[in-house]
Each structure stands twice: as structure tokens, then as C-alpha cells.
Amino acid sequence: MLKRVPERLGRIWPQSLLGRLMLVMAAGLLVTQLAASVIWASQLRAKAQVEAQSASQYMAHGASGAIRFFRSLPPNYRLLLIQQLREMGGTRFFVNLNHAYVPVQQIAPHPLASSVLATVGATLKSDLPHSPSFHLAFAWPEQLVVSEDGVHLSDLPDAWVQHILLLQPDPAPILVIQTEIEPGNWLYMAALMPNPYFLSSNDPLAWDRLSLQGLSLAVVLLLCLLVVRWITRPLAALSDAAAAFGQGQDDRAPPLPETGSREFINTARAFSAMRERIQRYIEDRERLFISISHDLRTPITRLKLRSELLDDEALRNEFEEDLDELDMMVKGALQCVKDSDIHENPAEVKLDALLGRLVRSARLAGHEVGYRDSSITVRAKPLALKRAIGNLLDNALYYGDRAEISVSSGPDVVAIAVRDHGPGVPDDAFASLFDPYVRLAHGREQNDAGMGLGLGIARSVIEAHGGQLVLENHPEGGLNATIRLPA
């Protein structure tokens, strides 16, 4: 299970620099927002707790004074006073008298509400130590019953409660205090906290707060996206220029713009200078090999003519063999330079036509080559691609009795496989197969005129197309050479 975690993370991790920077910045912003929200929420809760404790004590002292006042009145005057208070608009408390305790449907349990009830109860006990027990609860207005006969708060006239309690448009929880002031007479008091919405004021997940944080996060991410795109756009141009230069299309690639940050301007100038130096080096190398080949052919020809004048036939034959070997090495070096740098424009190449010509030529020479049409087209340099596949096919025919060519395509790659039915390649020989003039013993026996340059030339051509040449032994025997080109 733990081994799959890096693989899953690798799938989520973007491949582009823009995606990685955006993911890191978004994750950093989210973590920062989360940490800030947690700290802010803890401070908000602590502040709300302190304010609620202070408000609870204030409410409890007011309630204890009202209880003492109603307890001091004769029972006959209490109802008259309550009626007068209602007609005047009431006081802080909505007051009612009952002959028994009125059950109250409480709000859902809430830590802050429980703390307020505990503080109010403790303060009332402290102010009225000789009073019987107090029944405290928070209730919603639409569910609140105010009398023993089941009258709801909503059934009362608006003038009795509209200046005391909040019934609309956004009801607030109501604190209800009930106590028995004397046997058979219960005092019912209902009031709002100084902050009526104290339960929701400390909620960090309130919709208004979440919407504000989401809006700020979206603005920051948008600005980050614009900045990151502005930073990475020149890097994309640099990548395209490097890819075009590596595929031999430097003459078609526009020059890098020297705009943007100072670091990118320096990088663009350094890349342009490097590109010019490499281009001059390639041109100088080609001229050098041509000059060496031309200069060496004259003395080689002269030595061959002089060797014909030797009387000793054995010595003459040795001279001629050495001169032929030297001439072959010069021609091979020149061929390696020219064939790996074929100057032509890329075009749409139908593989069936190109491979069909190679297969027909091989069959006319008496070789057995298998191939099935694929109807696949690639964009490449036709002559260069033909030379690369031809070199692989020649090697397959030299090393094996017959060869097979297959073509397949995927979402991003076109694969051309050339397989021989020879003895294969030892594992320790794969590392040196692309080196110049390196040939296996079996190949030398089959083709003593070869120079060991075909694989190196083929790989150079394929890499110039942005592809890859992979050599591996086939499970059923023989060597399998696979050309992978961009689709």
C-alpha cells in the first residue's frame, strides 16, 4: 500500500512548470488560509467566550433583581403590574406568571450556550441563595411556550413582545428563566442576550466569512496565474528553440526575443551565442572532414600506383591491403559526417510507400523480409528516415536469415520495429553497439566489407527527428531495433 503512494503522487504532480508552480502556490495559499482561519477562529471563540460570560453575569444580575422585586409584591398586584408593563411596551424581560413549571423545547446543544446557562445559574444562586432551583433554557421563538395552558409566543399580541424579543425577520435564541417565587406561583421570564446572535457570531464557517475568504483566495490565485504565465512563457520559447535546434530546424526557428526578466534575457543571449558556436563547429567539422578526405585520397592513390611497381608480389599485396583499408576508413568517416546531417525539409511521409520500396529492394536481392501495410503517416525528412531504416534493415539481413518490419502507433508516438532472426546481441555488447567501427563477430563473418557505422548514423538521424532508437533482444530470438518517432 505504501509503495503505491509515490506512484499516485506522481500522477497528480503536474509535468509542466506552470502547473507545478500553480499547484505549489495554491497549496501554500490554502495552507496559509487554513492556518490563519484556525488561529482566527480560536481567538474569535475565546473572545466570544469572554463576552458571553460578561453578558451572562449582567443578565443574571438583572434577573435576580426582577425576581426580588416580584417576590416583594403582594400576589394581587403582580398581575396588575405585569399588565401595566405590557401596555407601556415592556422592560428587558417578558414576564408571565404561571401556577406550574412550563416545559421548554430547547435549542440544539451548543458549547457556548451551555456555558452561558451555567454562568447565569451560578450567578442567580449567588444573588438569591435562599431561592429554590432555577430552570434555565435557550429556545427559538417559534417553538417557545409561555404559559401552562400551552400559549405560544407567536399567539401573543405584537405590542407585548416586539420591543423585547426578536421574532422576525431573523429570530434570535431566547433565554428563559423560571423559578418558583412561592408555592404554586412560578415566575416566567424571557429575554434576549445583549448580543442576540452570540451563537453565530463566533462561527468561522459562516457563509459570509467563507465567501469572503473564497473571493480573496480566487483573486490571489488569478494574480499568481498571470504572474506565473508571464514568467514561464519565455521559457516555453526557449524550449521550442532548443527543440528546433536539436532537430536540425534552426533555420526555421525565430530568434529568441530578449524581453522579460533580466535572468531570461541573459539566458536567451547565452543560448543564442551557444547556438551560433555549435553551428559554426558543425560547419567547420564538415569542411574539415571533406578537406581531410580530399587531401588523403591523393597520396593514397599515389601510393597505390607506386605499389604496382614493386617486384615482390607478397609485399605488393600487403601494401594494397593496407591502402584499401585506409581508403575505406576515409570514406567511412566522410559518410558518417554526411549521412548524419542530411539537409532537407520535413514532410508528411507515408510509411507504407517508404518501407515498401525498401522491402522490394531487399526481396529482389534474394532476402526474406516480412511487412504488413499500416496506413500510418509521420512527419520527417524522407531521405534521412529512409537511410536510417535502411541501415537497420541491412544489419538485420546481415545478422539473421530473414527480417521483419512492423509499424504501430500510439497517442504520442509512432514505432517502427525491425527484427532479425539472428543470434541476438550479448548483454555486455549493447553499450558499444553505436560506437564507430564496432562490429560483432557474427556480423564480420556475414559482411566483411562493412565499417560499423550504420547504427551510429541511424541513431543520429532518429535523434535529429526528436525520436529514439532502442535496441533489445527479442524474447523469441534475434535483435529488435525500434524507432520511436513523435506522432
38 shares its domain with 82 = yes
Residues 321 and 366 in one domain: no
156 shares a domain with 126: yes
Coil, helix or strand for 309? coil
Angle (deg, nearest 10), helices 351-364 and 382-399:
40
Domain boundary among 320, 339, 358: 339
Q: If you count them, how many residues does the chain have?
A: 487
285: CB partners within 8 A, 6+ apart = 337
For 95-117, write each residue's pLDDT tens digit.
888 888 989 888 888 888 889 99
Residue 209 lies in a domain: no
Q: Evaluate whether residue 245 is within a structural domain.
A: no
Q: pTM of the entire structure?
A: 0.45
Does the residue 296 lie in any domain? Answer: yes
Instruction: Kindly provide the residue ranges of all beta strands, DSSP E only, lying in 183-239, ordered along the sequence.
Output: 185-191
Q: Considering 148, 170, 201, which residue would you say is the last residue of a domain?
A: 201
453 and 316 in a common domain: no
By the 8 A CB rule, do 48 and 203 touch?
Answer: no
**Residues 409 and 283 placed together within one structural domain of the fold:** no
Cell 557505422 locates to 453
Inter-residue contact 482 to 476 (CB < 8 Å): no
Under 8 Å between Cβ of 96 and 129: no
> Domain span at residue 473?
347-486
Residue 336, pLDDT score: 58
- The pLDDT, as a whole number, for residue 1 is 47
Same domain, 287 and 380: no
Same-domain pairing of 49 and 190: yes
Q: In the block, which residue shows the cell 539481413?
A: 397
383 and 308 in a common domain:
no
Q: Are 468 and 439 contained in the same domain? A: yes
Can you give the CATH number for the domain in which 461 is found? Answer: 3.30.565.10
Cis peptide before 194 (omega within 30 of 0): no
Neighbours of 462 (CB within 10 A): 23
397, 364 Cβ separation under 8 angstroms: no
**Cα(46)–Cα(67) distance, integer angstroms:** 31
472-474-479-481 Cα dihedral, nearest 10 degrees: -60
The set of residues, in sequence order, having a beta carbon less than 8 Å from that of 265 and lying 6+ positions away, is 258, 259
Q: What is the pLDDT of residue 125?
A: 92
CB neighbours of residue 233 within 10 Å: 13
**Which residues sit opposite 187 in a β-bridge?**
97, 179
Same domain, 28 and 124: yes
Mean pLDDT of the chain: 79
CB of 455 within 8 A of CB of 393? no
Grid cell at residue 154: 407567536
**C-alpha cell read off for 60:** 443574571
Q: Give all strands of the β-sheet with 368-371 in edge-to-edge order.
A: 368-371, 402-409, 413-420, 479-486, 468-473
Q: Are residues 352 and 294 in the same domain?
A: no
User: Does residue 56 sit within a domain?
Assistant: yes
Instruction: Report whether 406 contacts 429 (CB < 8 A).
Output: no
Residue 330 resides in a domain: yes
User: Can you tell me which residue has the cell 458571553?
Assistant: 52
The total number of structural domains that make up the chain: 3
> Is 225 within 8 Å of 22 (Cβ atoms)?
yes
Distance CA 121, CA 57 (A): 9
Residue 50 inside a domain? The answer is yes
Residue type, 412: D
Amino acid letter, 203: D
CB 104 within 8 A of CB 190: no
- Identify whether the C-beta of residue 25 lies closer than 8 Å to the C-beta of residue 88: no
Residue 75 resides in a domain:
yes
Task: Name the residue type at position 79.
Answer: L
- pLDDT given at position 407: 92
What is the SS3 assignment for 174? strand
**Do 310 and 367 belong to one domain?**
no
In order of 12, 281, 463, the CA distances from 277 in angstroms are 40, 6, 20
Of the candidates 415, 417, 416, 423, the residue with the CA atom closest to the CA atom of residue 398: 423
In three-state secondary structure terms, 23 is helix
CA 479 to chain centre: 39
Q: How far is CA 79 from CA 74, 91, 92, in A?
A: 10, 15, 17
Structural domain ending residue among the three candidates 185, 201, 217 = 201
Mean pLDDT by 10 residues, the chain (487 residues): 54 71 80 80 81 88 90 86 77 86 88 89 90 88 86 79 72 89 89 82 64 80 81 76 68 67 80 82 73 72 77 77 70 58 73 89 87 88 85 85 88 89 80 68 53 75 85 87 88
Which residue reads 599515389 in cell numbers? 302
Q: pLDDT digits over 145-170, tens only?
A: 888 888 888 778 777 777 777 666 77
Q: Which residues contact 75 (CB under 8 A, 6 or more apart)?
A: 182, 185
Residue 220 lies in a domain: no
Q: What is the pLDDT of residue 442?
A: 56
C-alpha cell of 22? 500553480
CA nearest to 62, candidates 194, 171, 198, 195: 194
Kindly tell me the burial class for residue 191, based on how many C-beta atoms sit within 10 Å of its own C-beta (0-12, 13-18, 19 or more): buried
- Burial of residue 310 (CB within 10 Å: 0-12, 13-18, 19+) is middle
Q: Which residues of 210-227 are buried (b: 16+ CB within 10 A; e: fewer)?
A: eeebeeeeeeeeeebeee
